């Protein structure tokens, strides 16, 4: 059974008018890291936003420029943890936007948090960069908690179990089922988690899809993925304002899981991805640009 989930379009004329400017700003933001490595947290968010804008203009991700923007976002988000986990002041070489950057390690900061870890991880998965996603899985969850909650910043408890579950899956550690079950339980607003509809429509669906993927249950995964994409669409089309939110162009976690499922099908034909949607950009999903240039 093939599920077809229609996506909504984000049509902002300003994005096309300023497309070249966004590319130039991305280059400048990344170049500035050599002088201001402490800005890595804000730079990662900005570069990722530019990548999502590129997808609004190129929904299938078929243009080289879109892949460059997407790969750059992955590289910057992973650099957050390269700079955070190296000794403060050490020199760290990071490949970002076609260049090897010699950057200064910052040590852990507020940007060394579980939310950014999740974004870095899923971006690496969509780019098929196993070396990077495995390196992220070596980052201690306790470090993410300690650094991310400095200054009284509060994060939902479920996110630490979610990260631990992903790390256990990748590194074949014990505790996968326990951490995932706890993450799903704690993400329920009725159990004290904050975030409202975002938890039910964005957070829980990716955990649910991952549950079936980890169990190698193709039917369950396809059903959960389709439900998750539908919930994502409902979330971002709830109001006219949210329908234009660039964050609604793609559900990163579900896209990453779909990429894993797509690739698993090459080695295990019985596991077939049977979900089609504009929320799963064709050339990101099938890895069409992977290997086009060193990342």
The Cα 52–Cα 236 span in angstroms is: 14
Does residue 68 sit within a domain?
yes
| Alpha-carbon separation of residue 260 from 26, 127, 130, 274 (angstroms) | 28, 11, 11, 13
Does residue 293 sit within a domain?
no
pLDDT for the residue 149: 87
Beta bridge partner(s), residue 91: 104
177, 185 in Cβ contact below 8 A? no
pLDDT for the residue 279: 99
Mean pLDDT, 10 residues at a time, the chain of 295 residues: 96 94 97 96 98 98 98 99 97 97 96 97 99 98 93 87 99 98 91 79 97 98 99 96 96 99 94 98 97 93
Query: How many distinct structural domains can be found in the chain?
Result: 1
Query: 């086009």: which residue's tokens?
Result: 292
pLDDT for the residue 42: 97
* Cα atoms in the 13 Å half-sphere on the side-chain side of 101: 26
Does residue 228 sit within a domain?
yes
pLDDT for the residue 132: 98
Does residue 102 sit within a domain?
yes
| Alpha-carbon separation of residue 194 from 149, 185, 236, 248, 273 (angstroms) | 15, 13, 18, 20, 32
Q: Which of 124, 177, 183 is nearest to 155 (CA)?
A: 183
Domain carrying residue 152: 7-285
DSSP assigned state of 172: T
The Cα 291–Cα 169 span in angstroms is: 25
Does residue 172 sit within a domain?
yes
In three-state form (DSSP H/G/I as H, E/B as E, the rest C), the secondary structure along 194-250 is CCCHHHHHHHHHHHHHHHHHHCCCHHHHHHHHHHHHHHHHHHHCCCHHHHCCHHHHC
Does residue 291 sit within a domain?
no
Does residue 2 sit within a domain?
no
pLDDT for the residue 192: 64
Q: The tokens of 129 are what?
A: 């960069």
Query: 């990101």: which residue's tokens?
Result: 284
Strands (DSSP E) contained in the chain are: 3-5, 91-96, 99-104, 275-277
Phi, psi of 275 (to 5 degrees): -125, 130
Beta bridge partner(s), residue 3: 275
pLDDT for the residue 153: 80
Helix (H, G, I), strand (E, B) or coil at 277: strand
Residues with Cβ within 8 Å of 17's Cβ and at least 6 positions away in sequence, in order, are: none
């Amino acid at each position: 059974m093939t599920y077809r989930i229609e996506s909504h379009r984000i049509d902002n004329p300003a994005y096309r008018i300023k497309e070249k400017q966004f590319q130039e700003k991305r280059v400048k933001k990344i170049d500035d890291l050599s002088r201001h490595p402490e800005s890595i947290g804000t730079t990662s968010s900005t570069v990722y936003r530019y990548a999502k804008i590129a997808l609004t203009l190129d929904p299938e991700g078929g243009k080289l420029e879109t892949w460059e923007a997407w790969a750059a976002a992955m590289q910057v988000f992973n650099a957050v943890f390269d700079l955070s986990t190296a000794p403060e002041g050490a020199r760290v070489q990071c490949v970002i936007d076609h260049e090897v950057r010699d950057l200064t390690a910052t040590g852990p900061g507020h940007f060394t948090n579980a939310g950014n870890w999740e974004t870095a991880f899923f971006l690496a998965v969509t780019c098929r960069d196993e070396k990077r996603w495995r390196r992220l899985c070596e980052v201690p969850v306790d470090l993410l908690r300690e650094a991310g909650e400095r200054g009284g910043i509060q994060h939902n408890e479920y996110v630490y179990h979610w990260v631990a579950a992903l790390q256990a899956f990748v590194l074949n550690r014990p505790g996968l089922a326990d951490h995932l079950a706890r993450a799903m339980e704690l993400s329920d607003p009725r159990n004290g988690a904050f975030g409202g509809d975002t938890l039910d429509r964005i957070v829980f669906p990716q955990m649910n899809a991952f549950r079936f993927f980890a169990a190698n249950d193709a039917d369950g995964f396809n059903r959960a993925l389709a439900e998750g994409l539908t919930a994502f669409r409902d979330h971002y089309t709830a109001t006219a304002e949210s329908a234009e939110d660039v964050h609604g162009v793609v559900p990163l976690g579900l896209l990453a899981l779909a990429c894993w499922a797509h690739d698993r099908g090459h080695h295990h034909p019985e596991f077939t991805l049977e979900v089609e949607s504009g929320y799963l950009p064709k050339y990101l999903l099938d890895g069409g640009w992977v290997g086009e240039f060193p990342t």
